[in-house]
Structure 1
Amino acid sequence: MTDATSGPLPGVTPDSGVTPDSGVTTDSGVTTDPGVSPDPRHDVVLDARGLRALAHPVRVRLLELLRLRGPATATLLAQRMGLTSGATSYHLRRLGAAGFVEEDTERGNARERWWRSAHRTTSLNDPDLIAREPDAVLGCLRSVAAAHSLRVQQALNEVETMPEPWGQALSLSDVSLLLTPAETRRLRDELRSVVAGFRRDTPEEAAAAPTGAERVVIMSHVLPDPADRP
């Protein structure tokens, strides 16, 4: 493990970059873990059409923004992402066709459409679908990984202006372990249990949050190292 905990980022301790969860678990993107049971009140379970719709990093990022920041127009989203309104509208329509976003008719008007996320999270937990659509699954995973990378870079871009307590709390870390598949699954599940013990960023729990609480994103990647294989 390489320790890079100097300067204003005492929490940064990378072996090579990030802190690891097997599969991908994102409130803003996709949960690709057969061990996670979706909540029918808030989750959508991916099918083949949904997989293909999310096999694009722009769409994953748009869905992320709508889930984290609330309803927005294509123009607002384009400004946040550095895209044209036309390109953003195209990707929103693709997300809408797959059921991930919907028009917010309470905000929209004849000139401008507002969009909102239709769900809080997206789950891929059908082993048969994963086996049938390996290319689509990989495309979806790559899109989520790209979205994770972008969020890390955006946070690091704000480090110099970040309040000191938050700069001290920030952490980037990874550790190389020697594990069996069963041990790796146990580690993944235990990491998930630790995170589950903390307050979620939901309207229900926000009301009870103490003063000074802000959104904190945990990205967890459990990745077998292919470099070790013959």
Structure 2
Amino acid sequence: MTDDPSSAPAAGPASGTVRLTSPMLKAMAHPLRRRLLELMHEDVPRRAADLAELVDAPANSVSFHLRQLAKAGLIVEAPEHARDRRDRVWVASGSGFTVGPPEGPVTADEELVLRSFMDQEALDLHDLVARITAWAAAWGSGREESVRAAIHTGLVELTEEDVRWLSGELEALMDRAIERSRTPTEQPKKLWRMVSLVADDSLPRPTHPDHGEAP
């Protein structure tokens, strides 16, 4: 990772998976920016007004956060989709974003930024699981009739090569779901959150420097 803003992707056609740098992770520290980025795709142009309606936030606030995402290199302008010079249209800077192994030495500050980002991701996931389990209890008891989530878990013995294959298959499936979501239909649509998670069952629990192992 790097703190050099000049390393952010330049404006232009989006392509490929983008490795998250420290400036990108810092830009994503704000919850609304993470939400906006989730709604961005490399080939689906978005305007601030469109996104403001989706996230139920003021358009001027959304515009500000879009500029911060662009400054970090997470999104780029798509002038070919603009109606005029004042019309600002945005697309994601790549087909996806990833946190991979470092390409060089990582400073303490960079590791702190990464840990802060992953901590927030964990909180978001915890909140999602809490909402799903609350719904599942209501659904299983008959108080909720609408299917609003699905959870599939399993334990399987795989090689590291198998895991890379499975990860690629899940990513491809999510890409197909996104593509299907763009197909016009008369049926009503709403936003669904997709999470794919594959983890080594022997992963140690994180420890707190003052309190030992986390609960």
Q: CA RMSD, aligned part only?
A: 4.2
Paired residues for 1:1-230 under 5 Å: 41-67=15-41, 70-108=44-82, 109-127=84-102, 128-129=105-106, 131-148=108-125, 153=131, 160-162=145-147, 170-171=150-151, 173=153, 190-197=162-169, 199-202=172-175, 217-220=194-197, 222=199, 224-226=204-206, 229=213
1:6-65 superposed Cα distances (whole Å, 9 cap, x missing partner): xxxxxxxxxxxxxxxxxxxxxxxxxxxxxxxxxx95122232222211222222221110
Distance 1:197 1:107 in 2: 32
Measure, in 2, the Cα distance between the counterparts of 1:85 and 1:149: 29
In structure 1, give the amino acid aligned to 2:166: V
Distance in 1 (alpha carbons) for counterparts of 2:51 and 2:175: 21
Gaps of 5+ in 1: 1-39, 176-182, 208-214
**TM-score after normalising by structure 2:** 0.58
What CA distance in whole angstroms lies between the structure 2 residues aligned with 1:147 and 1:187?
Answer: 29
SS at match of 2:91: strand
Gap change, CA 1:78 and 1:107, over 3 Å in 2: same
1:28 equivalent in structure 2: none
Sequence identity percentage = 24
Which of the pair has the greater relative contact order for Cα pairs under 8 Å at 6+ separation? 1
2:31 partner letter: P
Q: Residue type of the partner of 1:138?
A: R
- Give aligned pairs, total: 169
Unaligned ranges ≥5, structure 2: 1-13, 181-191
TM-score by length of 1: 0.55
8 Å Cα contact 1:104/1:116 also seen in 2? yes
- Other structure's SS at 2:100 match: coil
Checking the alignment, whether the CA contact within 8 Å between 2:17 and 2:98 is kept in structure 1 is: yes
Structure 2 CA distance, aligned partners of 1:70 and 1:112?
16
Q: Indicate conservation of the 8 Å contact 1:60/1:147, yes or no.
A: no
1:174-224 deviation line (CA, Å, top 9, x unaligned)? 88xxxxxxx9xx788754532433543447x959xxxxxxx9834316463
User: Does the CA contact (< 8 Å) of 1:47 and 1:129 recur in 2?
Assistant: no
Cα 1:150–1:96 shift into 2, 3 Å? farther
Structure 1 residues 45, 87: closer, same or farther in 2, change over 3 A?
Answer: same
Question: For residues 105 and 68 of structure 1, do their structure 2 counterparts lie closer, same or farther at Cα, with a shift above 3 Å needed?
Answer: closer
